[in-house]
Amino acid sequence: MGNACDIGAQLLKNYTDEEAEQHAQEVGVDPRPKETISEIDARGAFIRQPNAFIASAGDGEGQWKPEAGRYAIYWAHGCHWSNRPVIVRDILGLQDVIKDVAVTKSGQRNVYGHGFGDQPGHKDRLTGAYFLSEFYKRADPDFKGRATTPTLVDIIEKKAVNNDYHRLTNYIEVNFRPFQKPDAPDLYPVALRKEIDDFNDRLFPHINNSHYRMAFCQSYEAYQEAYDDFFESLDLLEEHLSKNRFIFGDFITDSDVRLYVTLVRWETSYFHNVGPLKKRITEYPNIWGYVKDLFAIPEFKKYTFFEFPKATDDALFQGYLVRIAPQIDFAKAWETDGSRKNLSSHPDELYAKHPEGETVEDYITPISTTIWNSPEQDDRQPKNVGPLF
């Protein structure tokens, strides 16, 4: 008998478009909108939709209250946005407080977006839903956008409460502080929060979202802008990391989680569909050393996936990801030599500790908003922010 992974893979392989259509009619969900149609501006640039569920955590009206066992993170292996919150959750020791479910495509063509094709009956094991978008419709019957990962779902009410990948990790770091393990590190120090937020809001257009800006845009002008933003930012990052072990110095912060997951996906997958490359990540010595330094940490390695498409018998030319990537021993290739420790004044400490005397009440401060959730498309143009550094 095969193991659960084998069984799940077979269920997903056999999940037909006809079955997905039947499920969609049963629960009343719409086909997933296409980014290349609904999120392209007049210049042919890809301007990502704002997040729909951005309510903050807390006890106030319109907020969602952190509780143990009430929420689950819905995420996808191949989505670097959604690798972030599960990494942060695990670092902070919240695995028993916040559950998680990895989604799959729905049917072979994925017409209805994220589903649960590797589960018996194609149903979510926690809620019985067929599609991620069901949680969105339950939270907002008029929702018309894309259901995205990560999404924090109230698994009791079976509805989405937050899909704000810009700030979701911050809510986990701050508002779930009372539930964190006693020796949980400080990924989002109070004294650095404004600097971290400002950096993260620049990181988003210049690196996190640049692949999508290149991959989805419909004009050469928009492509070149995204290309320049990405590689100019990597040059700046390479210089910064020549003097700093991590983004903010000696210790890992929320920003490092955000940067790492994008660099990993770029190096192992995303590069193949954006055209000519200036450099691979491995050609930036400091960035590459930084990636390997983080890969050595169990919580980062656990959510680093080396998954590649299978060869097809009728294709004359098989791409790099089919021919070569599956032959690479990534665990060995990504081993760190430990030399980046020399950049730190605390070489054997990866994380900052909470300051002595700091109370939970001191730590739980309001999370900032971001321009990237503005309903106005003009506000979400990359030109609205300065360079990465």
* Ordered DSSP codes for 46-100: B-PPPPS--PPBSSSTT-B---TTSEEEEE-TT-HHHHHHHHHHHHTT-TTTEEE
Same domain flag for 213 and 151: no
Q: Over the stretch 49-66, which tens digit does the pLDDT of each residue have?
A: 999 999 999 999 999 999
Looking at residue 3, its pLDDT comes to 60
Looking at residue 313, its pLDDT comes to 67
Same domain flag for 134 and 267: no
SS (H, E, C) 146-213: CCCCCEEEECCCCEEEECCCCCHHHHHHHCCHHHCCCCCCECCCHHHHHHHHHHHHHHHHHHHCHHHH
Domain that holds residue 282: 190-353
Same domain flag for 140 and 14: yes
Residues of the chain with pLDDT under 70: 1-6, 309, 312-313
Q: Does residue 286 form part of some domain? A: yes
Same domain flag for 217 and 277: yes
Same domain flag for 201 and 160: no
Same domain flag for 152 and 111: yes
Q: Does residue 250 form part of some domain? A: yes
Looking at residue 5, its pLDDT comes to 62
Looking at residue 1, its pLDDT comes to 40
